Structure formats: structure tokens, C-alpha cells
């Protein structure tokens, strides 16, 4: 029988005394972590649908920002043009209106503002779209990673580990995973004791208000199940919003700085 073991390469600590760990045990610990962030296809579908709702609202807000940036950009161009006209005016002979030093300083500041605004105008839409894409990828990963890890070869398993987080350590044969923020959000949000499997089957989620009332009268448990669905949907919406907000903050700060510096 063949056994595979992993051990420390001692690249960071030549004196590391961490013991070897069998590959199967390491895989078991990784699977245990993936189980903590695993979501079903139904959860993923709900999350992505809600992400698109958040994204639509964000795009409406970004359009207002974009209009403000365009206005600021046009104003910057007018100020540059006015500065040049002032400098080259016949009345500015000998620097009577504006000195060479004042002109150079003002022109440099306006050119810096112009460059920042051009960057913002060219990147605002791309940044917002990136928030949505990364959020969708996070939930896609959470729904498929466990199965992919179980069936994948060494290359696939390594890719999954890299996607989870960069700081993976072994202490007393116990794997410690410092997960990236989106997966940490999912893990901690799912760990409140509410099991997705406790809710009802997907087709019941389309029940109308009238049908809900009938179900409640005929079968109290049915009404309880519907409440479970609503509870789980609220949880899904909260997790989706937290993940989206994470990427919004990570990729949205530059545009905020650009607008505030105008």
C-alpha cells in the first residue's frame, strides 16, 4: 500500500520541527474547511440574483458620480484654457496679470486634476462591473469547490487552496487556513446554527400569498417551512450584500479619492 506524506520545506524556518502529515489527513482537513463555506445551487442562484439587484442600484448611483466627474472634467478644461488666455493676454506684459511662477504652479495643479479625472472617467464603469464579477465568482466557488477538490488532481487541489487564501500553516498536524475576506464572510455567516437543509424544497418558494394562507390553515408545518425559506433568503441576501460591499470597498476607493480631490 502506498502512502503520501507532506512536510515543511523549511524555506522560512530552517529549524522548523513540524511533523509530516499524511496526504489523506490533509485532504480531510481541507474538505472540512470547504464544507464550512459550501452553499447549494439554490443558495448560489438566490445570491447571484440578489447581487444583480444590488448592482443595478449601484450602477444608478455610479451614473450620478459619472455625471459629476464629467462636469468637473469640463470645468477643468475651461480653467486650463482660461489660464492660457490670461498668460498670453496682451495685458499680461511683464507678468502684470499672472507671473510665470504662478502660471506654472496653477497649470501643474490643473494638469494633475485633469489626469485624475481622465482615469476616473475611464475606469468607473469597469470597476463597478468588476465588483459584480468577483462577487459572482465567490459564490460559484463556494458552491463547487468541495466537489472539485474531491474529484480533482493535485493541480486542481492546489488552485483551490490558493483561491481560498495565501497563508496556510500546519501546527501539530492541524491545518490553519487564513481565508480571504469573502470566504471568511461566508464561513462566519453560515456558522450561526441555521442549516439550509432545514428549509423546504425549491419549488415551494414560488407559492403565492393566497396559497400561503391556505397552507398555513391546513398544515401549520407548511407555514413554518415558508418562514424557514424567508429566513434563509434573508441570510442569503445579507451574505451577498457583505461580499459585494467587500469588493466595492476594495475596488472603489480610488474613484472616491479622485472625486474628493477635485
- In the three-class reduction of DSSP (H, G, I as helix; E, B as strand; rest coil), residue 38 is classed as coil
Instruction: Give domain status of residue 247, yes or no.
Output: yes
Answer yes or no: is 76 within a domain.
yes
Number of domains into which the chain is organized: 1
Q: Quickly state the pLDDT bin for 170 (edges 50, 70, 90).
A: confident
Please state, as a whole number, how many other Cβ atoms lie within 10 Å of the Cβ of residue 50: 20
Per the domain annotation, does 33 fall within a domain? yes
Identify whether the C-beta of residue 29 lies closer than 8 Å to the C-beta of residue 164: no
Residue range of the domain that includes 83 = 18-191+207-260
Q: Is residue 11 part of a domain?
A: no
Mean pLDDT in residue range 117-129 = 71
Using alpha carbons, select from 215, 245, 204, 186 the residue that is nearest to residue 36.
186
Are residues 46 and 198 in contact, defined by beta-carbon separation less than 8 angstroms? no
Q: Is residue 161 part of a domain?
A: yes
Q: Is residue 9 part of a domain?
A: no
Q: How confident is the model at residue 6 (pLDDT cuts 50, 70, 90)?
A: low
CB 136: neighbour CB atoms within 10 A?
19
Query: Has residue 8 been placed in a domain?
Result: no
User: Coil, strand, or helix at residue 5?
Assistant: strand
Helices 181-190 and 100-151 pack at an angle, to 10 degrees, of 50
Q: Is residue 248 part of a domain?
A: yes
User: Would the pLDDT of 205 be above 50?
Assistant: no
pLDDT > 70: percent of the chain: 71
Contacts of 235 (CB under 8 A, 6+ apart): 189, 192, 194
Amino acid at each position: 500500500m502506498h502512502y503520501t506524506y507532506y512536510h515543511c520545506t523549511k524555506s522560512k524556518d530552517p529549524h522548523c520541527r513540524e511533523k509530516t502529515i499524511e496526504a489523506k489527513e490533509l485532504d480531510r482537513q481541507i474538505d472540512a474547511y470547504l464544507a464550512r463555506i459550501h452553499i447549494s445551487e439554490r443558495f448560489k442562484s438566490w445570491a447571484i440574483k440578489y447581487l444583480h439587484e444590488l448592482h443595478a442600484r449601484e450602477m444608478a448611483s455610479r451614473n450620478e458620480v459619472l455625471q459629476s466627474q464629467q462636469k468637473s472634467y469640463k470645468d477643468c478644461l475651461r480653467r486650463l484654457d482660461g489660464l492660457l488666455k490670461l498668460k498670453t493676454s496682451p495685458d499680461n506684459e511683464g507678468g502684470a496679470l499672472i507671473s510665470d511662477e504662478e502660471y506654472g504652479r496653477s497649470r501643474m495643479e490643473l494638469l494633475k486634476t485633469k489626469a485624475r479625472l481622465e482615469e476616473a472617467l475611464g475606469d468607473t464603469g469597469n470597476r463597478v462591473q468588476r465588483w459584480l464579477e468577483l462577487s459572482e465568482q465567490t459564490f460559484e466557488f463556494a458552491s463547487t469547490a468541495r466537489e472539485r477538490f474531491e474529484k480533482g488532481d493535485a493541480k486542481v487541489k492546489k488552485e483551490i487552496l490558493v483561491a481560498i487564501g495565501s497563508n496556510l500553516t500546519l501546527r501539530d498536524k492541524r491545518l490553519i487556513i487564513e481565508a480571504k475576506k469573502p470566504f471568511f464572510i461566508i464561513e462566519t455567516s453560515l456558522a450561526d446554527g441555521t442549516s439550509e437543509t432545514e428549509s423546504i424544497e425549491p419549488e415551494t418558494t414560488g407559492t403565492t400569498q393566497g396559497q400561503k394562507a391556505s397552507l398555513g390553515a391546513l398544515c401549520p408545518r407548511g407555514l413554518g417551512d415558508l418562514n424557514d425559506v424567508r429566513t434563509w433568503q434573508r441570510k442569503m441576501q445579507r451574505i451577498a450584500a457583505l461580499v459585494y460591499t467587500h469588493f466595492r470597498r476594495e475596488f472603489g476607493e480610488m474613484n472616491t479619492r479622485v472625486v474628493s480631490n477635485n
